Amino acid sequence: MKKSFLSVLKEPVCGFFMAVADSVPGVSGGTVAFLAGVYGDFIGSFGNIVGKDKEKRKKSLLFLLRLGIGWLIGMGLSVTLLESMFTKHIYEISSLFLGLVAASIPLIVTEERETLKKCRLWHILFFLAGAGAVVGLSLLHFRAATDSMNIASALYVFIGGALAVSAMVLPGISGSTLLLAFGLYVPIITGLKKFFSLDFSSFALLFIFGVGVLAGIFCSFRGINYLLKNHRPATVSAIVGLMAGSLYAVVMGPTTLDEPKAAISASTFSIVFFVIGIAVVTAFALTKYSAAKKRS
């Protein structure tokens, strides 16, 4: 009985920390699931839900429900803190995010070193495409309106939600960083903070974003599995490119505020928070290494 209780408790706790990771640019909820040993179940559950096996469907729904409860609690607490910190201490927090992203790149390269050894010279095109996509989005300086939505902005938010959740499920890639590049990070965390405070003024934004997330979940999981299984070198190259481009997205983060500020410069960059970001990712890597060593 005790083992069963701890097993059930593990999933909400994992969901909680996945939400904390998902809310921060530079860290992926998929990485947390990977470290916790539930990544395979997490990815497989979505396939089981639309599958024909009723027993697997029921088991997967319960798994995602327990994970989801922890995720909602973690996200509620995270956005409450992040929204005020991001606006009041933008340069310190952005420096922290830079450290998270910078440390994540060598981590994913190390994890996929055998895959990257198979890369040929032309695979650099996928790296450049990934980096260029994020940099290009950052240059658009798009900021979504939270009070009213027209067709163009609704479509933009929908696509942003679909792409962000696709990134969130991959270890090493941060969906929040993509939201930052889209100019949607601040509007979404502000809207979520309002929603958890029973202020529904941003409901339209969150609803369209949520529909995009659901579409991304059910459309991307099979696609991601297919690409990683059949075209892994090209896919990993694009992933590393996305992460490299994310550095520019974070630098430009202050320009996406409701009251835009200058991008990070040498005078506003905080080396202390940058090092803290690196330390957090390093701790993740050491935890994973320790867990793998114990299993072997």
- Count the residues in the chain: 296
Q: Which tens digit of pLDDT belongs to each residue from 210-226?
A: 999 888 877 777 777 67
Reply yes or no on whether the pLDDT at 285 is more than 80.
Answer: no
Reply yes or no on whether the pLDDT at 103 is more than 90.
Answer: no
How far, in Å, CA of 290 to CA of 293, rounded? 5
- Average the pLDDT over 267-285 and give the result: 89
What is the percentage of the chain residues whose pLDDT exceeds 90? Answer: 10
Question: 102: pLDDT confidence band, cut at 50, 70 and 90?
Answer: confident
Chain-centre distance of CA 99, in angstroms?
Answer: 15
Instruction: Measure CA of the first residue to CA of the last residue in the chain; give whole Å.
Output: 27
Q: Which tens digit of pLDDT belongs to each residue from 22-41?
A: 777 666 777 677 667 677 78
- Put simply, whether the predicted model's pTM sits higher than 0.85 gets the answer no
Amino acid at the residue 14:
C
| Closest by CA position to 94, among listed 186, 30, 197 | 186
* Per-domain residue ranges of the chain: 2-282
Q: Which tens digit of pLDDT belongs to each residue from 142-196?
A: 555 545 667 878 888 898 888 888 777 665 567 777 787 777 888 888 888 888 8
How far, in Å, CA of 182 to CA of 165, rounded? 13
Amino acid at the residue 90:
I
Amino acid at the residue 187:
P
How far, in Å, CA of 11 to CA of 65, rounded? 9
